[in-house]
A and B are shown apart, each in its own frame.
Chain A
């Protein structure tokens, strides 16, 4: 048992499941967006589309999935390459700094996304 307090759900099984489920949600959402865009949009139809509650809910679901998916994925990347084993203490400093930046960016995206979805 390896301890990890910065992983998304503290458990490998939970992270794995969240990563798969959020991946499916993102896939469906981006196919949906691509389909809308390819069918042709203008300002009026785009605003009408995002005026519907189900689109807002679906978008927020995708946004939260994006945040969780990114955290789990990038956490794996930084704990592979930016480690004490690879580069000594520098690895720890770089890894924790990278995790702070990633967490900050994802938090801003989520709050900003909510504002965009319900603010206009």
Chain B
């Protein structure tokens, strides 16, 4: 039997968070963590979490699994369970709304700050803005982000300054638009990032790289932003 421990907190009835223990029979199958949650919810319908696509595309079910952030739907038990124990907690550093559901407002506010949309002040062409295959290739490893918040909520710099440090997810997207050949707002974008907090609170801890369920590398993107800022200012 798998020992499952789930973080429970209902602000309306609980004084403080507590851990609920379950015995779970996997029947020898290598289930995904989300399958375990779904079956436990069938036992106790008050267990609350977000989920949607169940295949690692929507980014809804980011949780802390045995101490490491990840998507419950694409994390197999074999990859995370040691000593027959599975501990599931909400993403760290964000306010808990209930059980495994966190308030992502701070995370989205940082995403909004980097203006995550194409800006181009030249007249629109008749059909579409063309991009060479080489320029398009620069966006690989950037556009795949699904905003699950696993990276930002594992970053100590983001824990201490979620209102001032953009965080790995936001910065990966910031670079996605800085690197886009069709975007003409590069200079304005860089000006908004040139303070001691937005980019430079990154101390290269690389928890973001370690946890990203899509295998992306925010630290490298942050390095590119730093180089752009430095090149522009020296």
Chain A interface residues toward B at CB < 8 A: 1-4, 7, 10-17, 75-76, 79-81, 83, 85-86
Contact = CB atoms under 8 A, between A and B. Distances in A.
A86 B161 CA distance: 9
Contacts of B199: 12
Given A80-B160, A86-B160, A3 B230 contact: no
B42 interface: no
Given A12-B199, A80-B160, 11 more contacts: A1-B192, A2-B196, A11-B195, A12-B229, A16-B200, A75-B196, A76-B196, A79-B196, A83-B161, A85-B160, A86-B160
Interface residues of B, number: 22
Nearest to B203: A76
A4 B194 contact: no
Given A83-B160, A86-B160, A1 B191 contact: yes
Given A80-B161, A83-B160, A1 B198 contact: yes
B233 A14 contact: yes
B230 A12 contact: no
B49 interface: no
Contacts of B144: none
18 contacts: A1-B193, A2-B198, A10-B196, A11-B233, A12-B195, A12-B199, A12-B200, A15-B200, A17-B230, A75-B196, A76-B196, A79-B161, A79-B197, A80-B157, A80-B160, A85-B160, A85-B163, A86-B160
